[in-house]
Amino acid sequence: MRGRIVLNDYFAAIVVMGVMLIFTRVCPAENVFAGAAWEKRDPAALGIDGIALDRVAEELGGRGCIVKDGYVVKAWGDQAEVRDWASSAKPVLSTLLFFAIEEGLVKNVDQPIAEFGWPLIDKDKSMTFRHLGAMTGGYARPEAPGAAWAYNDFAIQLYQKTLFEKVFKTDAKTVADDPKRLGPLQFEDGLKWSSKARLSASPRDFARIAWLWLNKGRWGDKQILPQRYFDEYCKPQAQKDIALSDDKI
């Protein structure tokens, strides 16, 4: 099965993560990659029912695009409008973490956050990048790292601050746009980060990130991140029977 992605601004977290989990059997030789702009193809030319795509766009509403084999086969709404992508910022943070590991700035996903100079309380000193990415860090919660799961925006803010302030030591845009990181994706409208780990992007730019994930770190003829990260970390990283945090923020 060749790859396809569906992106919509109101359903970004659900749809983007669904793409990663469902459409993973990509045939790299058959896919193309966007240059300065996405190429467009008639759906019928790629064996897709255009009327069905129209129904998808109508049901989702807002703004979005559908990519098949590296071609945009359906787009609706303003493709250049930059808006908040909510929880979809989290896997982008982890993508940047993988770059940091490859560059030797972070040892591995199990390196403790405390090693980067944060004055953490004793309970939190064993907290790692893996814990933060899997929502099991226990930050601002009563449980120790790894003991319970909680959707935790405070922990994600710590994740972002650690990456940009302590690891890369520069702003998020400079980190992401670097030619040896996400620069090869040639974002048309640019990524924008807030101080609270919120990512804003246009549909056509977020589609590039999703296409990188779907192709397991490859962009064009270059493997910009090793495939092993996508083979391993597109799987759940929290134990299926882990307890839920007793505390509420």
Q: Is 220 left (phi over 0), alpha (psi -120 to 50) or beta?
A: left
Q: Is 172 helix (H, G, I), strand (E, B) or coil?
A: helix
Q: How confident is the model over 85-138, as pLDDT tens digits?
A: 988 999 999 999 999 999 999 999 999 999 999 999 999 999 999 999 999 999
CB 64 within 8 A of CB 7: yes
> CA–CA separation, 10 vs 4, rounded Å?
19
- Tell if the pTM clears 0.85, that is, is over it: yes
Q: Quick one: CA dihedral 209, 211, 212, 216, positive or negative?
A: positive
24 token code pair: 């993973």
Q: How confident is the model over 141-168, as pLDDT tens digits?
A: 999 999 999 999 999 999 999 999 999 9
What is the number of alpha carbons within 13 Å of residue 218 lying toward its C-beta? 18
150 token code pair: 């909680």
